Amino acid sequence: MKELKIETTLIVFDNVDELPEDVTKLMAVAMEARAKAYAPYSNFSVGAALLLDNGEVILGNNQENASYPSGLCAERTAIYYAGANFPDAKVLKMAITAGSRMQPTITPIPPCGACRQAIAEYEVKQDCPIEIYFMGETGKVVKSNSLADLLPLGFDKSFL
C-alpha cells in the first residue's frame, strides 16, 4: 500500500487589471457573454470566452431550459461551438466569469465537473494545454495553466 499525493498549482491575480493584456480583453468578452446568458431558472449567469490559435475569439453563456437537465453550461456552449466551427484550431485560453442575480459574486467560480471533462477532451485532442482563467463578477481571478491541473486522474481516449 502506498499513498498517492496529487498537487495542483494555481495562480491568483488580485483583479482583472493584473492579468496579461490579452486575457483582460478575453475576460471582458466573457463578461459581455455573461450579460447575455439565458438563466431564468437559476438566476446564475456564466460567460466564457475562448482564444483560438487562429485569432478567433469564441463566446458562450449558459442556456437554461424548463426541462432543467436540457440546459447547457457556458463553457460547453463555447467549446462545442469552437469544435463545430473551427475543428482544426487549437484553444489557447479560456476566460470564465460567473455571477448570481441574487447577490454579488466576488469569489472565483471554477468550471463544473462536466465542463472540465468536456474541455479536457479538446486539450487531449489538440495535445496542447488550455489556460483557464476564472472569476466571479469582480475580484480575484484564478489561473490554471492547463485543464489537466483542474481534473487530476482524468478519463480520456487512452483508456478506450
The minimum distance between CB 47 and ligand THU, in angstroms, equals 8
Q: Among 62, 97, 105, 144, which residue sits at the site for ligand THU (rule: CB under 6 A)?
A: 62
- Number of Cβ within a 10 Å radius of residue 120: 19
Give the nearer residue to ligand THU in terms of CB position, either 127 or 132. Answer: 132
- Residue 112 as a binder of ligand THU (CB under 6 A): the answer is yes
64 annotated among ligand-binding-site residues: yes
Indicate which single residue of 16, 23, 46, 95 sits in contact with ligand THU (rule: CB under 6 A). Answer: 46
Nearer to ligand THU, 44 or 86 (CB): 44
Please name the residues in contact with 143: beta carbons below 8 A apart, sequence gap of 6 or more: 10, 11, 12, 13, 131, 132, 133
Distance (Å, rounded) from C-alpha 78 to C-alpha 120?
A: 14
Position among 64, 79, 90, 144 found at the interface with ligand THU (CB under 6 A): 64
Contact between 130 and 156 under an 8 Å Cβ cutoff? The reply is no
Residue 45 CB, shortest distance to ligand THU, in Å, is 8
Cβ count near 49 (within 10 Å): 28
Closest CA to 61 of 44, 42, 48, 80: 48
- Distance, CA of 5 to CA of 143 (rounded, Å): 21
Q: Is 128 annotated as a binding residue?
A: no
Stretch of 4-12, 49-57, 111-119, 147-155 contacting ligand THU, by CB under 6 A: 111-119
Q: Say if strands 44-52 and 10-13 run parallel, antiparallel, or are unpaired.
A: unpaired
Which residues have a catalytic role annotated? Answer: 75
Residues near ligand THU (CB under 6 A): 39, 42, 44, 46, 62, 64, 71, 73-75, 111-112, 115
